[in-house]
Amino acid sequence: MDDKIILLVEDNADDEKLTLRALKKNNISNEVVVARNGVEALDYLFGTGTYAGRNLNIAPQVVLLDLKLPKLDGLEVLRRLRADERTKLLPIVILTSSDEEQDRVNGYGGGANSYVRKPVDFNQFSEAVRQLGLYWLVLNQPPPRRT
Amino acid sequence: MDFFRQLFLSGDFQPHGFCYRWNSGLVWLNVLSDALIALAYFTIPFTLLWFIRKRRDLPFSWMFALFGVFIIACGTTHVMEVWNLWHAQYWLAGIIKAITALASIPTAILLVQLVPKALALPSPDELKKVNRHVVDRTEELGRANAELARANKALLQYQDQQRLVFDSIPYPVWVYESYTLAIKDVNQSAIRSYGYSREEFLSLTIKDLRPAEDTPALLENAKKAPEGAETAGSCKHRKKNGDLIDVEITSGTVVFEGRDARLVVATDVTERKQTEEALRQSDERLNLLVQGVKDYAILMLDPEGRVTTWNDGAERIKGYRAEEAIGQHFSKFYTPEAVAQDKPSQDLKIAAEQWRFEEEGWRVRKDGTRFWANVVITALRDKTGQLRGFGKVTRDITERRQAAEEVERQRNELARSNAELIATNNELEAFSYSVSHDLRAPLRSIDGFSLALLEDYEEKLDAGGKDNLHRVRAATQRMGVLIDDLLNLSRVTRTEMKLQRVDLSAIGRSVATDLKNSQPERRSEFSVQEDLEAYADSHLMRIALENLLGNAWKFTSKRESACIEFGKTHCNGSLAYFVRDNGAGFDPARAERLFGAFQRLHDTNDFPGTGVGLATVQRIIHRHGGRIWAESAVERGATFYFTLEARQGGA
């Protein structure tokens, strides 16, 4: 379980810190790669930009994707990932403040595997993160890895 | 007496044969010669007589008669010569000779006198010539005669044809004598039309054809009938069967059989007159109708645009009386600007070319005020396509225009406010989205890092510091709930409604079950009436019932046993649903504040809540065209009523 990478796409430093805290609190010690905007996330996943030449065989087990992102918003990131052969099966969880109906519709419509709203209460947030880790890192069988 | 006795007595005289010594040869020579001469003499007068009788044309016939007498007398003398041979009655013979002499002398004298005349008679050659001339002439005459016969025949044929033409004229025609008025000739059409036979006609006078009251005038006219003048007129005629017909008459003087007469052509116009009368009445009715129309100015224009008719509506709308308007050019009703642009003529031109012209525009009344008119100009053409004029119908639609302008203004205003509303809605949408995303994140940080402080610096914080941090967290979480409720309220407004038949009973039961499951330890009794149905948005109705039943559940929390009822009743004749509880109730004086957002009638410590729930319910009910109200008394429970009058199929 330890070799499984989590890609956290989050522009808010507070949320990043709180998410990492929640993971740690729940003893999830997997490597967390943080992308602070949509472009960075795509660069990481496709080995472009600052991540040029990255070994793409090392792929995250799950992507935790915020919707409100600078440069390229979450839904657009989702669309590009689903449009690419290399990432179209990648498990993506939308983790956002919003529970707007249109966001849920667009999230699932764009091919997200899950939609989780971040609660205000940190205890609840921590619990959500715990369950996400348990589910996506332990319980869920990832799609076959491509070579 | 002696004389006559002596006459037939021989006396002493010897018979003449005695002189011939009775020589028988000599005697018989004399006898035969005298007898033959006498015979010849006697036959000549008869021949002459026969000739005369046969040729009565001969001149001098009396000469022949005289000559006959003279020859007979000569013959008789020769008879006496024979007689005297044996009978010596010489006196008698002498007297006969004397008579003969008496006859011969005038004959001779007359003959002498006659010779020049006889010489004047044409000779046979001349006669032949004359004769030949006569023959020539006769032939000529014969030819001329034949020609004459042919001409005569042609004339007869011509007369027949004339008759035929006369008879075949399709109008009744007759000829009557100017002074006696007697009908002298009549054609077949007259016979057919009037029912009299030809013979009957010829026994009538013109008076018989006219109604009795016309007679004096007729006689008067007959006296002073203008010589040769052709006259025309109309009058009434009576047929044989007594029917009176209207006729138009053309007559002229003619000479018929040597007398002054008049030839009359009559046309039966009874039917035409009836048609004209019907047309006139129809025209009159139409005119009355048009005249009586008050709401429309109906007028007619001549081809140049001058007014020819004017109705009451025209007077009412335009202010001119008929006598002021008729004859005026219709450009009088246009504004000076339109007249300056030659619009009246152009309008007429369009009407003439395209049959119809219609527009709405300003027109001017007599008093100079303007009105907004609907104008229709129609070209009126006769059967040949010749333009006869125009019909013009004008309506004063100023009020309608003002109303339309008002409607338009309101529509624009509505559109503007609608646009504003849409803009506001879009802003609200953006605001809600922003709230949903951005307002909650800092709260999460506040809460998260407060907790981090509590956890990471537990040993450095005293009880007061910990309490403060707990208060920060509680307030943060409460604000999270408030934000969520607010978002729900705005979502209720923003969501598109899908109206359908909704089973409210089922929703009610489902919500009740959820509530019971949330606090299974509570004693409660939910009573949901069967067959509660509505035409509504299912999702919104669920939110409404969650709030109403949820409130009932909340405000009965201090009761030993909660009693909550969802049913329907009739209120002022319309169906109303109600949710009733036996909970804390509220002061009815403050009931109107119930449905305002963030309005709370109870202490949060007693009954938690944000005060958004009933505002949300009210918004849902209003969106369904219904209304909501509540009845209650403190500690006596509360009943919330609502109606749903959603338009069928409407959104």
Give the number of C-alpha atoms closer than 13 A to the C-alpha of residue A134, restricted to the C-beta side.
Answer: 8
Of B452, B477, B495, the CB nearest to A120: B477
pLDDT at B651 over 60: no
Q: What is the pLDDT of residues B266-317, one digit of tens each?
A: 888 888 888 888 999 988 888 888 888 888 999 999 999 999 999 889 999 9
Calpha distance B471→B451 (Å, rounded):
11
Q: Which of residues 245-304 of B touch A (CB under 8 A)?
A: none
CATH number reported for the structural domain that contains residue B220 in this entry = 3.30.450.20
Give the pLDDT confidence score for residue B517 in this predicted structure: 92
Of A15, A97, A119, the CB nearest to B436: A97
What are the structure tokens assigned to B119, written together? 């010489």
Tell me the β-bridge partners of B130: none
**Among B436-440, B550-554, B640-644, the least confident range:** B436-440
Considering the domain architecture, whether residues B473 and B539 belong to the same structural domain is answered as: no
For B495, name the nearest residue in chain A, comparing CA atoms only.
A101
Q: Do B449 and A14 touch (CB under 8 A)?
A: yes
In-domain check, residue B128: no
Q: What is the pLDDT of residues B38-59, one digit of tens each?
A: 888 888 888 888 887 887 777 7
Closest CA to B76 of B51, B62, B97: B97
Of A12, A98, A121, the CB nearest to B436: A98
Residues of chain A with C-beta less than 8 angstroms from the C-beta of B444:
14-15, 18, 97, 118-120, 122, 125
Give the pLDDT confidence score for residue B490 in this predicted structure: 81
Where in the sequence is the domain holding B70, given as residue range(s)? 2-119
The last residue of one of the domains, among B445, B472, B493, is B493
- Torsional sign, CA B190, B191, B193, B194: positive
pLDDT at B113 over 90: no
B149 in contact with chain A, both atoms CB, cutoff 8 A? no
Of A12, A14, A120, the CB nearest to B476: A120
Q: Which of B434, B440, B537 to mutate to test the interface with A (most CBs of A within 10 A)?
A: B440
Q: Which of residues 473-492 of B touch A (CB under 8 A)?
A: 473, 476-477, 479-480, 484, 487, 491
Considering the domain architecture, whether residues B235 and B196 belong to the same structural domain is answered as: yes
Give the number of C-alpha atoms closer than 13 A to the C-alpha of residue B554, restricted to the C-beta side.
Answer: 17
Considering the domain architecture, whether residues B574 and B546 belong to the same structural domain is answered as: yes
Give the pLDDT confidence score for residue B92 in this predicted structure: 84
Of B433, B447, B491, the CB nearest to A120: B447
Q: Which of A23, A122, A126 to mutate to test the interface with B (most CBs of B within 10 A)?
A: A122
**Across B6-10, B492-496, B624-628, which has the greatest mean pLDDT?**
B624-628
Contact B297, B318 (CB under 8 A): yes
Considering the domain architecture, whether residues B457 and B401 belong to the same structural domain is answered as: yes
In-domain check, residue B130: no
Q: Which residues of B622-631 are buried (b: 16+ CB within 10 A; e: fewer)?
A: ebbebebbbe
Over range B373-385, report the average pLDDT. Answer: 91
Q: Do B441 and A14 touch (CB under 8 A)?
A: yes
Tell me the pLDDT of chain A averaged across its residues: 90
Q: What confidence category does residue B510 fall into, taking pLDDT thresholds of 50, 70 and 90?
A: very high
Give the pLDDT confidence score for residue B43 in this predicted structure: 87
In-domain check, residue B601: yes
Residues of chain A with C-beta less than 8 angstroms from the C-beta of B432:
100
**Among B138-152, B205-219, B409-423, B534-548, the least confident range:** B205-219
In-domain check, residue B33: yes
Beta strand A114-117 with A92-96: parallel, antiparallel or unpaired? parallel
In-domain check, residue B137: no
Contact B254, B175 (CB under 8 A): yes
Q: What confidence category does residue B528 fall into, taking pLDDT thresholds of 50, 70 and 90?
A: very high
Q: Do A21 and B448 touch (CB under 8 A)?
A: yes
Considering the domain architecture, whether residues B637 and B519 belong to the same structural domain is answered as: yes
Q: Which residues of A touch B (CB under 8 A)?
A: 12, 14-15, 18, 21, 67-68, 96-101, 118-123, 125
What are the structure tokens assigned to B262, written together? 């008049």
Give the pLDDT confidence score for residue B223 in this predicted structure: 66
For B444, name the nearest residue in chain A, comparing CA atoms only.
A120
Determine the distance from the C-alpha atom of residue B425 to the mean position of all C-alpha atoms in its chain, rounded to a whole number. Answer: 64
Tell me the pLDDT of chain B averaged across its residues: 86
For B451, name the nearest residue in chain A, comparing CA atoms only.
A122
In-domain check, residue B540: yes
Over range B92-96, report the average pLDDT. Answer: 86
Considering the domain architecture, whether residues B328 and B243 belong to the same structural domain is answered as: no
Give the pLDDT confidence score for residue B2 in this predicted structure: 67
Give the number of C-alpha atoms closer than 13 A to the C-alpha of residue B509, restricted to the C-beta side.
Answer: 9
Give the pLDDT confidence score for residue B648 in this predicted structure: 43
Cβ partners under 8 Å of residue B333, min gap 6: B318, B363, B364, B394
Over range B432-442, report the average pLDDT. Answer: 80
Over range A14-34, report the average pLDDT. Answer: 92
Considering the domain architecture, whether residues B622 and B515 belong to the same structural domain is answered as: yes
Percent of chain A whose predicted confidence (pLDDT) is above 90 = 68
pTM of this prediction exceeds 0.90: no
Of A14, A98, A99, the CB nearest to B445: A14
- Torsional sign, CA B191, B196, B198, B203: negative
Q: What confidence category does residue B635 fall into, taking pLDDT thresholds of 50, 70 and 90?
A: confident
pLDDT at B24 over 70: yes
Of B442, B447, B495, the CB nearest to A122: B447
Question: Phi and psi of B205, rounded to 5°?
Answer: -115, 170
Determine the distance from the C-alpha atom of residue B566 to the mean position of all C-alpha atoms in its chain, rounded to a whole number. Answer: 75
In-domain check, residue B432: yes
Which ranges in B87-197 belong to alpha helices (H)?
A: 90-120, 124-168, 188-194
What are the structure tokens assigned to B621, written together? 């009910």
Q: Do A100 and B444 touch (CB under 8 A)?
A: no
Considering the domain architecture, whether residues B352 and B480 belong to the same structural domain is answered as: no
Q: Which residue has the higher pLDDT, B463 or B212?
A: B463
Give the number of C-alpha atoms closer than 13 A to the C-alpha of residue B107, restricted to the C-beta side.
Answer: 19
Q: What confidence category does residue B373 fall into, taking pLDDT thresholds of 50, 70 and 90?
A: very high
Q: What is the pLDDT of residues B484-495, one digit of tens each?
A: 888 888 888 877
Residue B598: left if φ>0, alpha if ψ -120 to 50, beta else—which one? left
Q: What is the pLDDT of residues B140-180, one digit of tens each?
A: 888 988 999 999 898 888 888 888 888 888 889 999 888 88
Q: Do A96 and B480 touch (CB under 8 A)?
A: no
Residues of chain A with C-beta less than 8 angstroms from the C-beta of B476:
120
- C-alpha distance from A57 to closest chain B C-alpha (Å): 34
Contact B496, B534 (CB under 8 A): no
pLDDT at A112 over 90: yes
The last residue of one of the domains, among B493, B521, B545, is B493
Give the pLDDT confidence score for residue B102 in this predicted structure: 83
pLDDT at B609 over 90: no
What are the structure tokens assigned to B32, written together? 């035969």
The last residue of one of the domains, among B453, B472, B493, is B493
Considering the domain architecture, whether residues B563 and B481 belong to the same structural domain is answered as: no
Give the pLDDT confidence score for residue B84 in this predicted structure: 86
Considering the domain architecture, whether residues B17 and B91 belong to the same structural domain is answered as: yes
Q: What confidence category does residue A125 fall into, taking pLDDT thresholds of 50, 70 and 90?
A: very high
Considering the domain architecture, whether residues B306 and B385 belong to the same structural domain is answered as: yes
Size of interface A-B (CB pairs under 8 A): 65
> Any idea what DSSP says for residue B520?
T
Q: Do B477 and A121 touch (CB under 8 A)?
A: yes
In-domain check, residue B125: no
Give the pLDDT confidence score for residue B48 in this predicted structure: 80
Give the pLDDT confidence score for residue B647 in this predicted structure: 47
pLDDT at A37 over 60: yes
Considering the domain architecture, whether residues B523 and B625 belong to the same structural domain is answered as: yes
Residues of chain B with C-beta less than 8 angstroms from the C-beta of A70:
none
Work out how many domains chain B is built from and give that number: 5
Of A14, A68, A125, the CB nearest to B437: A68
